[in-house]
Amino acid sequence: MAATKWSDKSDSIVQPFVLTDESGSYLTNATLYNSTALQSKQIVKTSPGTLYNVYGYNSGSAQYIHILNRSSSLNNGTAPSIVIRAAANSNFNYDGYLFGIPFTQGISIANSTKAATLQTGSANCWFNVTYK
């Protein structure tokens, strides 16, 4: 399969994107959520959707990035759908590949001091989430 690329179609905070292969063939529409400041958590999508990728920066000590199947409140003790290890003062990423990962309630992201359940950390992460 040919490599994919993202085409930016807007300059707003929430940006629509088009995923295409090397020939420019249309694959899927997606939206990019970009943090506007360092955060500890964010509800990205409040309805069912598909997660394509996550990338960001952790400006604090080592922690976990939780992707949660949640459309509302992000309470401590909630089990994540996906866990990403974020080393201290470094970038992190997760790739949901071409077809993405479906979420039935919504898509949320948070940093956590624990891997297995959410224990919200400090507001020291920059989040970028591509979803539909």
Residue 18: what residue type?
Answer: V
Residues of the chain with pLDDT > 90, as a percent, come to 70
Instruction: Please name which of 101, 107, 105 lies closest in space to residue 129, comparing C-alpha atoms.
Output: 107
Q: Are 49 and 131 in contact (CB under 8 A)?
A: yes
Per-residue pLDDT tens over the stretch 11-47: 444 545 555 545 555 555 788 999 999 999 999 999 9
Give the burial class of 13: count Cβ atoms within 10 A of its Cβ; 0-12 exposed, 13-18 middle, 19 or more buried.
exposed
Lateral strand order in the sheet of 41-45: 41-45, 107-112, 63-68, 82-86
Cα distance between residue 90 and residue 67, in whole Å? 18
Q: Which two tokens stand for residue 77?
A: 């003790």
Nearest to 94 by CA among 45, 128, 124: 128
What is the pTM assigned to this prediction? 0.80
CB 39 within 8 A of CB 121: no
User: In the chain, which stretches have pLDDT less than 50?
Assistant: 1-13, 15, 21
pLDDT at 72: 93
